[in-house]
Amino acid sequence: MYCGPISVRSILPQPWRNFPGGSGGLALGLAESRQSGARWGDLGQRLMSGLVLAGIGLGCVWTGGLAFFGVLGAAAIGLAIELTKLCVSPSRSTFKTTRWVLLIAGLCWFALVTVVMLRLRADPGAGRANVLTLLLIVSATDIAAYITGRLVGGPRLVPRISPAKTWSGAIGGLLGAAAAGIGAAAVLGQPEAIWRAGLVAAGLGVMAEAGDLLESAMKRRFGVKDSSHLIPGHGGLLDRLDGLLAAAPVAALLALMAGPGVMLWG
Dump pLDDT digits (tens) for 27-44: 334 334 444 444 445 666
The CA-atom distances, in angstroms, between 226 and each of 214, 220, 233, 235 are: 13, 10, 10, 5
Distance CA 85, CA 227 (A): 9
What pLDDT shows up at residue 94? Answer: 55
Per-residue pLDDT of 215-264, as tens digits, reads 988 888 877 777 777 766 667 888 889 999 999 999 999 999 999 999 99
Mean pLDDT of the chain: 82
Question: Average pLDDT, stretch 93-122?
Answer: 89
- Domain extent listing, the chain: 1-41, 43-258
Cα separation, 51 vs 43, whole angstroms: 12
Instruction: Output the pTM of the full model.
Output: 0.80
The share of the chain scoring above pLDDT 90, in percent, equals: 57
Task: Please report, for residues 11, 18, 28, 115, the alpha-carbon distance to residue 15 in angstroms, rounded to integers and kept in the order given.
Answer: 11, 7, 12, 62
How many helices (H) and strands (E) are present in the chain, helices listed first? 9, 2
